[in-house]
Structures are given as C-alpha cells and as structure tokens.
A and B are shown apart, each in its own frame.
Chain A
C-alpha cells in the first residue's frame, strides 16, 4: 500500500480509544467484511453496493473519530478491549475493496495541478494504471462529468454522481460517486471518489436490443421457408410421397439451421456478458489444438481435407484462460478453414509460444493483406501463445477484412446460404479473444488462402497467483520462443 500517506484520514484503528468508538469501528469493519464475503459467493451487484456504502460510512466515521481522538486526547493511555484485536487495519480493508476507491486532495478551486490522489486502492490503481504516489488527478481521470462531481464534493461540500465509461478493448460502464470528507490537518480539502461497476446492467440491456434486431431478421428466412413447405404439404403436395420426402428433408435442414443459429446466439450472449471478467486457468494450447483437430477429422475426411497440427511439446505453450472458450476459438477457426478449403487441400494449425504481438502476426506472404481484428491493450512485455490456422481456400478480399468479426456478416453475402455457417463464428472468436486480453489477426491473399492468428497471453509461472496485477512485468515463458514441429498429426 504505497499510497497510504499521512494526509489520508485512514490510519490503523489501534488509535481508537473510547469503547463506543471501538464498537462503531468494529461493527463497520465486520459489516464490510460480511458484505465482501457475500460478494465472493453470490453475484456481485447489490452486495458490492452494500459493501461500498458501508465502506464509505466507515471511512467517514473513522476519519472523524480518529481526528477527534488525535486532537482532544493525545496523551491518554489506551484501555484494551478484547474485540479490538479482530478489527483489521482500515488501510488493508480499503485496499482489498473490490471497487476502485480514491481519496482526492485539493488546495484551491482554480488550481487544477493541485488536485492529487492521496489514496488509491488496488482496484483503482489497476483501473487507472496509477503508479506513482500522489499523482495528478487528471493523469488518471479526464472525464469532465467526473471531474465536476469531484469538484462539487471538494469545494461545494455536497455529494456528487456521474456516469463514466472506460473505453479500450473491453468497454466498461461505471457510476462515479463522490463524497466530501473532513479537511486534512494541513488544510487541504478532501473528497472520496468511488466507482461502481455497472457494465453488467448496461451490457445485458444492449445485448437484448441487438438480439432482437439481428436474430429476428436471421430467423425469419428459415422460418419463412418452413411455413412455405408446410403450406405446400397441406395443399397440392398432400398425396405426393416423393415430394413430401424431399420437402421434409429440406424442412429438417432449415430447422437445424435455426437451432444452430440459436445455439450460437446463446453462446455469444453468454460470452459477451462475461467479457470484462478476465478468465483464470492454465491451458496447454498444444494439447487443446490436438484435441480439436482430432474431433474435426471425420468432417475433414468427408471433405477430403487434410488437417495438420504443428505444436511445441507438452508444457511449453501454456496460455492463461478458460479452456472451453479457447477450444471454441480453435474449433471455430479450424472449422471455417475446412469449410472454405477445396478438396485435397491442407489446413495447417500451428501453435507457438513466447511471441510478442508483432512476431505473432508477422506477415508470411509478402503480398498478402493483413488486419488486426482484435488488439489487446498495450502491454510491451507481455508474451503470447499464438494459434495460426491457415487454409488454401479462395482467400478473402481486402474490403471484407475489417468486417469479418461483425455478426451475421458473410463474405459471399446471402449466397453462402448452403454453407453451414451462421455468420456468428468469428464474432464469437472476437469476443473470446477480447475477454482473454488476447488478439486476433487475419492475413489473406485473394485466391491463395487465408490465415487467422489468435494469440492468448502466456500464463505466468505455476507458483504465482492466477492473475498478475496491471503493469507488472510478466515473466518470460519457459523455454523462450519455442520451436515448432514437435508433434505432427494428420
């Protein structure tokens, strides 16, 4: 906790003296811990809000009681209370609060450079990438509405509130709440700023709207065809056994298409709802790729397409993430590659570890077009495990590249109806890559095949906790840039 410094009202509660204050502090802290405990087990939202409210109350009350203590009875010896030892230091409590919380100090209203953080808990430091002590407020927050709300609390002494969105690969929506605090000992004004995550609420709202707009349109086509065939079967094809069989086969294919579409939509909306939560877990991408390819072999054999895996040996290409979703990425990419391959062609799936963004998506063919479809937020020392899926199909014209991950976008327009796709495969890949803080790029030369490259952050060493804090350098992966060609399946 490098930012816990003298002007902050938060200090170890060891200084609380009279019994009622001890009781108050203890109660506030245990209520906070209770609320936090609830957060861990059930859905966030109400519980987090409760925890935040309690934390604010506690911070304000402690600040006041501590100051009174310090000012009125500086020399009085402290009577011991048994319950006291169980009260954690407030700094530690605020530090581990899941919501970003800051205390901002200011001198004068017209002095923008005077507004600084005197405290920023771990969540706030991660969100705003704050590194130094007492950084300028504007280096972290520029949103005019939030700055206004902070000013209201600093200089107007009233609580403020503002909506705040953080852009980037994962868009997040916050509600910023500000509260005035008692001035510090050196006369500077203090205000509390707490951010409450409202991404979930906003996202489910938006997903619903999107679902209605897209899905109704996409479902209408197969449904119209089903209705048409039912009509025909009831009418003049009633007694024609040959036509009936043929129609029923088409109807069953259309029904399957609708059900595939619904499956894809459901999995897309599930992934979207979790997109801002970084997944935990260590996955050996070489094994995952081999599994996917094995499962795809029957389909490939049917199309007379050869599937080849080139991957480093076990234990080298370990990526951080959710195994099911990573499998889905490889599956969707390989599936597309097989789908667009002509007969007797080869589809290559290549796994490599220890890549930087530049090496992962380096051009293989000099004249090919390339575009990044998903870029991770800037992290210069991050290394990635890359999966490159290459086909020898018709390739993709450059004007289609920026739109590939759009929902229901098909390169061939509506003509691609006979192909088995729903137009959602790459959209799903994109959202999974976003969630994993990874990236996705495509390289293509029209008439000469296409490669899709998905790269996931390398998992950190086994002993460490699952997730590194933002700004911490990730250890280089074991073995450095690993060679390929260790195992071969075809």
Chain B
C-alpha cells in the first residue's frame, strides 16, 4: 500500500478515487474500533500483553491518518471537487483525524491498564468501566456503520443518544469517590480508572463529532446541539 497508486492508476475515475478514500477511512475506523475495545478488555481483564499491543499498534493509526490527509489534499488540488464530492473529501479527512484521537485515547487507557494490573482487583469498578466501555464502543461502531453505508438516520440516532455516556460517566465518578473515601489505599488505582473513564467519555464525544460530520457530508447542513431532543436526557433540575 503505497502512495504511488496515483501514478499507477491515472485512468482511474474520480468516483473510484473517492470510494478508495472512503474505504481507507473505513479501514482506519476498524483499527480504531479494535484499539478501543482491546483497551477496554485490557483494563477489565488486567491483561498486560494486550495493553502493550494496543500501545504498540497506535503508530498504524497515526500513519493512516497522515496518509489520508495527504491523499485528501492531493485530491482537492488535482480534481477540485465540488458540492457533495467536496464534502465527501473533507469528511474523510475530518473523520480520520477524529479516529486518530480515539486511538490516542485508547492508547492512554492501555497505559493505565499496565499500572492498574499491579493493584488489587476491584471487580465492581472494572465492571462499571466495562459497561461504559461497551456503550462507547457500540456508539463508535454505529457511527462508522452510518458512515460506510451513508445512513443518515443512524448517524442522527448516535448523535441524539450522546447523553447516555455522560450519565454512565457521572455514575462511575460517584462510585469511584465512594471507594476512595472508604479506603485511601485505593486512591492510586481509582484515579487511573477515573482517567480511563474520562478517556472513554471523550471517545464517545468523538463518535458524536463523527456523526455530525456524516450528517454534513450527506446533507450539507449542520446538526445544532440546541435542537437536540432531550428525550433520553436526565432532565432533573440539579
């Protein structure tokens, strides 16, 4: 897989090039998904080799992001795409940089997994992390499915359910505080779990961003956060 294919396929149609770009972003999405779910597994199962492999694999995402960016710039320069084609091109670049951030956050979770693996196991807490992690991973999967299939409804659904992750995060935060107050020896590992949860929450935010980008790619319009229906929000006044 080199960047030389532009010269090899000069007769390739513009549509083919765009498909190729989408395919690259989708593949990158697959890698990011695997990184996130492996990082969650690593911290939940205290799996040191898995955590190490997540850390090592992060360079692939960085390289793909750089490659996609280069291709997009080249494509804009040479083909000067318009309207939907332009949005598709820009969306590919923006999604890839969001995915790259997801990879970084997964790597950070994996690093914390290396540390918490040495501490005493805290089954109730790692369960909560796992539950939140599965939710975040499912959001990432949904939004990438929406991207690859061009499914607007699915992208909007991911965007609308943004609140769920926050609720899990808040609940986990309280749980961690209770543990730390109960036994100061757990403050070290609990802090790492807290950061891991925060990282998961941010991965969820990136999924929301990607949903917005997919919406922009398909419709050309923005999703406005004030119009987000609060149907699953916890709307108690406090």
Contacts and interface: CB of A to CB of B under 8 A. Distances in A.
Nearest to A169: B138
Given A110-B1, A142-B30, A401-B167, A370 B234 contact: yes
Given A113-B16, A167-B141, A369 B153 contact: no
B231 A358 contact: yes
B31 interface: yes
Interface string B19-31: 1101110110111
A144 B37 CA distance: 13
Interface of B is mostly: helix
Q: Which of B144, B168, B174, B234 has the most CB of A within 10 A?
A: B234
A262 interface: no
B232 A371 contact: yes
Interface residues of B, number: 47
A27 interface: no
Interface stretch (A69-77, A330-338, A372-380, A415-423): A372-380
Interface residues of A, number: 43
A398 to B, nearest CB: 5
A145 interface: yes
A143 B30 contact: yes
B3 to A, nearest CB: 10
Nearest to A136: B23
B144 A142 contact: yes
B27 A402 contact: no
B236 interface: yes
A129 interface: yes
Contacts of A369: 234-236
Given A145-B34, A168-B138, A402-B168, A138 B235 contact: no
B182 interface: no
B87 interface: no
Contacts of B137: 167
B234 A147 contact: no
A372 B26 CA distance: 29
Contacts of A371: 164, 167, 232, 234
B215 interface: no
A136 B20 CA distance: 10
Interface in A207-238: 213
Interface of A: 109-113, 115, 129, 136, 138-145, 147, 165, 167-168, 171, 213, 358, 361-363, 367-372, 375, 378, 380, 398-399, 401-403, 406, 445-446
13 contacts: A110-B1, A110-B2, A111-B20, A112-B27, A136-B23, A138-B22, A138-B27, A142-B26, A143-B34, A145-B34, A378-B153, A398-B234, A401-B234
Interface of B: 1-2, 5, 16, 19-20, 22-24, 26-27, 29-31, 33-34, 37, 123, 127-128, 131, 134, 137-138, 141-142, 144-145, 148-149, 153-154, 157, 161, 164, 167-168, 170-171, 174, 231-237
Nearest 9 CB-CB pairings of A with B: A142-B30, A138-B26, A112-B23, A113-B20, A113-B19, A139-B148, A369-B234, A113-B23, A138-B23
